Amino acid sequence: MNAQQQVRQLLDFIDASPSPWHAVATMERQLIAAGFQRLLETDEWLLQAGGRYYIIRDDSSIIAFVAGTKALETQGFKIIGAHTDSPGLRIKPHALFKTGELLQVGVEVYGGPILATFTDRDLSFAGRVSYRVDANEVATELLHFEQTLLRLPNLAIHMNRTVNEDGLKLNKQTELPLLFSTQSKEQLPADIFTDLLQQKIKREAADILSWELNVYDTQKGVFWGEEQAFYADSQLDNLASCHAGLSALLTDAALNSGDTIVCAFFDHEEVGSESTKGADGSFLPDTLERIALAMQLNTENYKRALANSFMLSVDMAHAYQPNFPAAYETEHKVYVNKGPVIKLNANQRYSSESISAALFMRWCEKAEVPYQQYAHRTDIPCGSTIGPLTAAKLGIRSVDVGNAMWAMHSIRESAGVWDHHYMIKVMRCFFAE
């Protein structure tokens, strides 16, 4: 498959995944098609060497792995980690309210989005809804409104004369509620909202109990630029890395390498990772230990396996935007379409160190892929990733890498076609080495 086709698949994957719950469901479909079997955390695991498995925790974190045929204690786990969530707006429990003659949807800010980018976009929502089945049982379904339902119109420049000098600042409580309709019905706003949900999940309105709903942009992904070498879509941070990791896993070279290869994609990275299914939770340690036990390793050999393991923590990086040169460290500018970026930070905001960085460089050389090195400006606080958390919890050597992109945390982010291709190539080399 060429680079353009790989990114076409990525854009289709993102457009089918308007929330972290949908992203996991989309990946699950791909895994099932490739012969992966689901394991439940509540069941006993009986694994076969060479078998393909996956586990989902609470609908939005997923770990897929191939049980190796080679000795796990000496080969270790080869892990690619990324996150399924993206910053944005989430709908509040009492969603609809009346303002004058208008109905609005109340939203909470999830993580650190660039809020101004949510104005004047074609918004809708998607997520999961839980409902009563009978007196004892609750069930959950995914819901995805494909039509545009919501909007955050800008204030006209005639009422905001200095917007171009001062920038667009939005008060999170009063200026983010989204417009939904004019109030014409007799119904209470709460009933109008559950009626809307009911259209999609086909349950009695009275049985709908709770939900988690993500606001998303209905505009599809596009290619752009000379030779269409760039692409734009929402949620590139970090669904582009999930897609690259899964694409590398689902290659013959990786599947048949004989090693225990793992893709671990977590929710809640954008809000600190501290949850049952976040990277700072027990999901990955629990899973790796259970794989080792099911492969008949004792504790001593499980610890040996961890000591022989390696993790690529993959998250997007900040590409140089020439209109804002002062934002970048002059000697560490990284460019779109110039290869995967190795992220280094002396204060351990990234998990990379010189040995793990050198190993990654070696895989790049082997895969004939260029690479770049990034350091943040020393006088601006640096972001972090799941890398340091998982590395600290498990004692696994790890490197933080990712592709260069523009406008991280905008509702419309942008990156390079060649970089996605390069990343899949080097990941495949890491898995299949």
The count of chain residues that interact with Zn ion, using the rule CB under 5 A, is 3
Looking at the Cβ atoms of 35 and 112, the one nearer to Zn ion is: 112
Nearest approach, Cβ of residue 297 and Zn ion (Å): 33
Nearest approach, Cβ of residue 242 and Zn ion (Å): 10
**In this chain, which of 15, 217, 315, 413 binds Zn ion, going by CB under 5 A?**
315
Query: Which of the ranges 50-58, 231-239, 306-314, 360-368 carries the binding residues for Zn ion, by CB under 5 A?
Result: 231-239
Nearest approach, Cβ of residue 295 and Zn ion (Å): 32
Q: Does the footprint of Zn ion cover residue 235 (CB under 5 A)?
A: no
Of the candidates 230, 199, 224, 235, the one whose C-alpha atom is nearest the C-alpha of residue 15 is 235
Looking at the Cβ atoms of 93 and 112, the one nearer to Zn ion is: 112
- Tell me the torsion sign for CA atoms 320, 322, 326, 327: negative
CA angle 41, 45, 47 (to 5 degrees): 135
Binding mask 265-304 for Zn ion (x = CB under 5 A): ----------------------------------------
Nearest approach, Cβ of residue 22 and Zn ion (Å): 18
Query: Which of the ranges 18-26, 122-130, 184-192, 238-246 carries the binding residues for Zn ion, by CB under 5 A?
Result: 238-246
Gap between the Cα atoms of 294 and 339, Å rounded: 38
Query: Which of the ranges 36-44, 218-226, 310-318, 366-374 carries the binding residues for Zn ion, by CB under 5 A?
Result: 310-318
Gap between the Cα atoms of 396 and 351, Å rounded: 10
Looking at the Cβ atoms of 260 and 273, the one nearer to Zn ion is: 273
Instruction: Give the 3-state secondary structure of 123-180.
Output: EEEEEEEEEECCCCCEEEEEEECCCCCEECCCCCHHHCCCHHHHCCCCCCCCCCCEEE
Contacts of 340 (CB under 8 A, 6+ apart): 360, 364, 369, 371, 372, 401, 402, 403, 419, 422, 423, 426
Q: Does the footprint of Zn ion cover residue 86 (CB under 5 A)?
A: no
Amino acid symbol at 314? V
Structure tokens belonging to residue 208: 């709908």
From residue 401, give the alpha-carbon distance in Å to each of 266, 384, 420, 426, 429. Answer: 16, 12, 12, 11, 15
SS3 121: coil
Exposed (0-12), middle (13-18) or buried (19+): which is 393, by Cβ within 10 Å? middle
Query: Which of the ranges 16-24, 109-117, 309-317, 417-425 carries the binding residues for Zn ion, by CB under 5 A?
Result: 309-317
Looking at the Cβ atoms of 163 and 271, the one nearer to Zn ion is: 271
Nearest approach, Cβ of residue 128 and Zn ion (Å): 22
Looking at the Cβ atoms of 80 and 306, the one nearer to Zn ion is: 80
Query: Which of the ranges 28-36, 185-193, 314-322, 336-344 carries the binding residues for Zn ion, by CB under 5 A?
Result: 314-322
Query: Which of the ranges 208-216, 233-241, 339-347, 413-421 carries the binding residues for Zn ion, by CB under 5 A?
Result: 233-241
SS3 82: strand
Dihedral-angle region of residue 276 (phi above 0 means left; psi in -120 to 50 means alpha; beta otherwise): alpha
Looking at the Cβ atoms of 291 and 317, the one nearer to Zn ion is: 317
| Spatial contact of 194 and 208, defined as CB atoms under 8 Å apart | yes
**In this chain, which of 73, 85, 212, 237 binds Zn ion, going by CB under 5 A?**
237
Structure tokens belonging to residue 194: 């559950």
Nearest approach, Cβ of residue 238 and Zn ion (Å): 4
| Spatial contact of 176 and 170, defined as CB atoms under 8 Å apart | yes
Looking at the Cβ atoms of 238 and 275, the one nearer to Zn ion is: 238
Nearest approach, Cβ of residue 237 and Zn ion (Å): 4
Looking at the Cβ atoms of 113 and 189, the one nearer to Zn ion is: 113
Looking at the Cβ atoms of 237 and 400, the one nearer to Zn ion is: 237
Nearest approach, Cβ of residue 241 and Zn ion (Å): 8
Contacts of 68 (CB under 8 A, 6+ apart): 49, 50, 75, 257, 258, 259, 260, 261
Nearest approach, Cβ of residue 114 and Zn ion (Å): 14
Q: Does the footprint of Zn ion cover residue 238 (CB under 5 A)?
A: yes
Helix (H) or strand (E) holding 34: none
Looking at the Cβ atoms of 73 and 237, the one nearer to Zn ion is: 237
Nearest approach, Cβ of residue 269 and Zn ion (Å): 6
Q: What is the DSSP letter of 332?
A: G
Gap between the Cα atoms of 405 and 415, Å rounded: 4
Nearest approach, Cβ of residue 381 and Zn ion (Å): 16
Binding site for Zn ion (CB under 5 A): 237-238, 315
